[in-house]
Amino acid sequence: MSRFDLWFAQSARALARRTSRRSFLSRLATLILGGSALPLLPVARAAAQPRAPAPGEPDPATPAGDPESCEYWRHCAIDGFLASCCGGTHTSCPPGTEMSLVTWLGTCRNPADGKDYVISYNDCCGKDLCGRCFCQRNEGDKPVYYPSKSNDINWCMGREGVIYNSTVAIVVGVATES
């Protein structure tokens, strides 16, 4: 589901709340803007290639299993452009960029096995903003003065080229309550 799907769905719901009588125009707007009543069913994108399921991950035909989707399970604490939409994958950076050495960490639950994983959100650095698949989810995000949990920081800071391009989401461990 794209950012615009979300935006249109939210808008339609907001509109429905705001409109006391279901006038001609509000009904039309609801139709045009997406309609909160329409099911937001996930189906494979038209032009996308079928993807092989990754070990232990949800079906890639669902948003929770699709690395190009903001709803991908690993993206729970992200705020940036998905490297998987920018010429990279969810674990490797787009051509010509370099992965940041320092980063922030999130903890995301994998719906396929119900376990919590520690996700390292490394930034891809050295080219300007990718501009595709902006995704902001912020689960567990903390302010900048708490750097290891903050996604508002340009984590390219440690590298030669610190321009931010996009972000990967790499599994670095399983979280267990301590």
Residues numbered 79 to 118 that lie near other proteins (CB under 8 A) are: 79, 85-89, 91-99, 101-103, 105, 107, 110, 112-113, 115, 117-118
Shortest distance, CB of residue 12 to other proteins, whole angstroms?
7
Alpha-carbon distance 99 to 156, whole Å? 8
Shortest distance, CB of residue 60 to other proteins, whole angstroms?
13
22 scored as a contact of other proteins (CB under 8 A): no
Alpha-carbon distance 130 to 8, whole Å? 23
16 scored as a contact of other proteins (CB under 8 A): no
Shortest distance, CB of residue 43 to other proteins, whole angstroms?
5
Q: Is-catalytic flag, 104?
A: yes
167 scored as a contact of other proteins (CB under 8 A): no
53 scored as a contact of other proteins (CB under 8 A): no
158 scored as a contact of other proteins (CB under 8 A): yes
27 scored as a contact of other proteins (CB under 8 A): no
Residue 103: is it exposed, middle or buried by C-beta count within 10 angstroms (0-12/13-18/19+)? buried
Taking alpha carbons only, the member of 104, 106, 86 closest to residue 95 is: 86
Taking alpha carbons only, the member of 82, 80, 77 closest to residue 109 is: 77
20 scored as a contact of other proteins (CB under 8 A): no
* Identified catalytic residue from 66, 73, 79, 123: 123
Q: Which residue has 């092989």 as its token pair?
A: 52
Amino acid at 5: D
Q: How many CB atoms lie within 10 A of CB 47?
A: 5
Of 33, 64, 70, 78, the one binding other proteins (CB under 8 A) is: 33
Alpha-carbon distance 90 to 171, whole Å? 10
**Which residues carry out catalysis?**
104, 123
